[in-house]
Amino acid sequence: MIEEFGTVVELLGKQRARVVCVKSSLCEHCASSGACSLGDDKRTRLVEVANPLGAHVGDRVRIVTTTRMFLKSSFVLYIVPLMALVVGAVAGKLLGETLIDTLDPDLLSAIFGLFFLVGSLVLIRVGSRALVQQNYLPRIAEIVNDQL
Protein backbone atom coordinates (compact mmCIF):
# COMPACT_ATOMS: atom_id res chain seq x y z
CA MET A 1 0.00 0.00 0.00
CA ILE A 2 1.39 3.38 -1.02
CA GLU A 3 0.24 6.30 1.11
CA GLU A 4 0.80 10.04 1.19
CA PHE A 5 -0.55 12.96 3.18
CA GLY A 6 -1.89 16.13 1.63
CA THR A 7 -4.45 18.92 1.75
CA VAL A 8 -7.67 19.05 -0.27
CA VAL A 9 -7.59 22.13 -2.50
CA GLU A 10 -10.55 21.50 -4.82
CA LEU A 11 -13.67 19.34 -4.96
CA LEU A 12 -14.59 17.81 -8.31
CA GLY A 13 -18.12 16.72 -7.58
CA LYS A 14 -19.16 14.57 -4.64
CA GLN A 15 -16.77 11.66 -5.23
CA ARG A 16 -13.56 13.35 -6.41
CA ALA A 17 -11.09 15.87 -5.10
CA ARG A 18 -7.71 17.40 -5.89
CA VAL A 19 -5.11 17.11 -3.17
CA VAL A 20 -1.76 18.89 -2.90
CA CYS A 21 0.95 16.58 -1.54
CA VAL A 22 4.56 17.29 -0.64
CA LYS A 23 6.91 15.05 -2.58
CA SER A 24 8.34 12.26 -0.45
CA SER A 25 11.56 10.27 -0.62
CA LEU A 26 9.80 7.79 -2.95
CA CYS A 27 9.66 10.52 -5.58
CA GLU A 28 13.45 10.74 -5.83
CA HIS A 29 13.64 7.34 -7.53
CA CYS A 30 10.61 7.80 -9.79
CA ALA A 31 11.32 8.22 -13.50
CA SER A 32 8.60 10.86 -13.84
CA SER A 33 9.28 12.80 -10.65
CA GLY A 34 9.80 16.02 -12.59
CA ALA A 35 6.51 15.69 -14.45
CA CYS A 36 4.20 15.93 -11.47
CA SER A 37 5.48 19.13 -9.87
CA LEU A 38 3.20 22.03 -9.11
CA GLY A 39 4.42 25.60 -8.98
CA ASP A 40 7.97 26.87 -8.80
CA ASP A 41 9.07 25.09 -5.65
CA LYS A 42 9.23 21.60 -7.29
CA ARG A 43 8.32 20.12 -3.90
CA THR A 44 4.58 19.67 -4.25
CA ARG A 45 2.30 17.85 -6.66
CA LEU A 46 -1.40 17.93 -7.44
CA VAL A 47 -3.16 14.57 -7.32
CA GLU A 48 -6.73 13.75 -8.36
CA VAL A 49 -8.24 11.29 -5.87
CA ALA A 50 -11.49 9.49 -5.11
CA ASN A 51 -13.25 11.12 -2.17
CA PRO A 52 -15.45 8.43 -0.54
CA LEU A 53 -15.24 10.09 2.90
CA GLY A 54 -16.57 13.45 1.73
CA ALA A 55 -13.52 15.52 2.67
CA HIS A 56 -13.84 19.29 2.24
CA VAL A 57 -11.46 21.94 0.91
CA GLY A 58 -8.75 22.58 3.49
CA ASP A 59 -8.97 19.13 5.12
CA ARG A 60 -5.68 17.32 5.69
CA VAL A 61 -6.06 13.77 4.40
CA ARG A 62 -4.21 10.49 4.00
CA ILE A 63 -4.46 9.15 0.44
CA VAL A 64 -3.65 5.58 -0.50
CA THR A 65 -3.34 3.43 -3.57
CA THR A 66 -2.55 -0.23 -3.85
CA THR A 67 0.79 -1.32 -5.22
CA ARG A 68 -1.08 -3.45 -7.74
CA MET A 69 -2.94 -0.46 -9.24
CA PHE A 70 0.28 1.57 -9.25
CA LEU A 71 2.12 -1.19 -11.13
CA LYS A 72 -0.77 -1.70 -13.59
CA SER A 73 -0.87 2.01 -14.38
CA SER A 74 2.91 2.17 -14.75
CA PHE A 75 2.86 -0.82 -17.11
CA VAL A 76 0.22 0.74 -19.33
CA LEU A 77 1.88 4.17 -19.38
CA TYR A 78 5.49 3.08 -19.88
CA ILE A 79 5.85 -0.51 -21.06
CA VAL A 80 3.00 -0.68 -23.60
CA PRO A 81 4.29 2.32 -25.62
CA LEU A 82 7.82 0.91 -25.46
CA MET A 83 6.59 -2.44 -26.78
CA ALA A 84 4.66 -0.65 -29.54
CA LEU A 85 7.81 1.24 -30.53
CA VAL A 86 9.82 -1.99 -30.80
CA VAL A 87 7.06 -3.85 -32.70
CA GLY A 88 6.70 -0.94 -35.11
CA ALA A 89 10.44 -0.70 -35.66
CA VAL A 90 10.75 -4.43 -36.35
CA ALA A 91 7.70 -4.39 -38.64
CA GLY A 92 9.11 -1.41 -40.55
CA LYS A 93 12.50 -3.07 -40.90
CA LEU A 94 10.98 -6.34 -42.17
CA LEU A 95 8.66 -4.51 -44.54
CA GLY A 96 11.51 -2.40 -45.85
CA GLU A 97 13.75 -5.39 -46.44
CA THR A 98 11.15 -7.61 -48.13
CA LEU A 99 8.50 -5.54 -49.89
CA ILE A 100 9.66 -1.99 -50.52
CA ASP A 101 12.91 -1.54 -52.45
CA THR A 102 12.76 2.23 -52.89
CA LEU A 103 13.03 3.17 -49.20
CA ASP A 104 15.87 2.54 -46.78
CA PRO A 105 14.78 -0.20 -44.30
CA ASP A 106 16.25 1.78 -41.38
CA LEU A 107 14.25 4.86 -42.31
CA LEU A 108 11.08 2.80 -42.65
CA SER A 109 11.87 1.17 -39.30
CA ALA A 110 12.12 4.59 -37.62
CA ILE A 111 8.91 5.82 -39.25
CA PHE A 112 6.93 2.72 -38.29
CA GLY A 113 8.35 2.73 -34.76
CA LEU A 114 7.35 6.36 -34.26
CA PHE A 115 3.92 5.74 -35.80
CA PHE A 116 3.28 2.75 -33.51
CA LEU A 117 4.52 4.71 -30.46
CA VAL A 118 2.23 7.67 -31.14
CA GLY A 119 -0.63 5.31 -31.98
CA SER A 120 -0.24 3.47 -28.70
CA LEU A 121 -0.24 6.75 -26.74
CA VAL A 122 -3.42 7.88 -28.53
CA LEU A 123 -5.07 4.51 -27.85
CA ILE A 124 -4.11 4.71 -24.17
CA ARG A 125 -5.53 8.23 -23.95
CA VAL A 126 -8.81 7.30 -25.67
CA GLY A 127 -9.06 3.94 -23.89
CA SER A 128 -8.51 5.46 -20.46
CA ARG A 129 -11.70 7.47 -20.87
CA ALA A 130 -13.67 4.22 -21.21
CA LEU A 131 -12.32 2.85 -17.91
CA VAL A 132 -14.06 3.37 -14.60
CA GLN A 133 -11.82 6.10 -13.18
CA GLN A 134 -12.75 5.37 -9.56
CA ASN A 135 -10.99 1.99 -9.82
CA TYR A 136 -7.66 3.54 -10.80
CA LEU A 137 -7.58 6.72 -8.73
CA PRO A 138 -5.87 6.90 -5.37
CA ARG A 139 -8.49 7.34 -2.65
CA ILE A 140 -8.83 9.31 0.54
CA ALA A 141 -8.54 6.77 3.34
CA GLU A 142 -8.67 9.11 6.33
CA ILE A 143 -9.27 12.72 7.26
CA VAL A 144 -6.47 13.62 9.68
CA ASN A 145 -7.35 17.21 10.69
CA ASP A 146 -7.35 16.43 14.41
CA GLN A 147 -3.91 14.77 14.31
CA LEU A 148 -1.98 17.91 13.37
CA 24 to chain CA centroid, nearest Å: 17
Q: Are residues 94 and 123 in the same domain?
A: yes
Please determine, for residue 42, whether its predicted confidence score (pLDDT) is greater than 80. no
Residues whose CB falls within 8 Å of the CB of residue 36, separated by 6 or more in sequence, listed in order: 27, 45, 46, 47
Q: Are residues 60 and 7 in the same domain?
A: yes
> Could you give the number of structural domains in the chain?
2
Q: Are residues 28 and 78 in the same domain?
A: no
Please determine, for residue 26, whether its predicted confidence score (pLDDT) is greater than 70. no
Q: Are residues 75 and 63 in the same domain?
A: no
User: Identity (one letter) of the amino acid at 51?
Assistant: N
Q: Is the pTM of this model over 0.75?
A: no
Residues whose CB falls within 8 Å of the CB of residue 57, separated by 6 or more in sequence, listed in order: 8, 9, 10, 11
d(Cα 104, Cα 27) in Å, to the nearest integer?
42
Q: Residue 132's pLDDT band (boundaries 50, 70, 90)? A: low
Q: Are residues 6 and 63 in the same domain?
A: yes
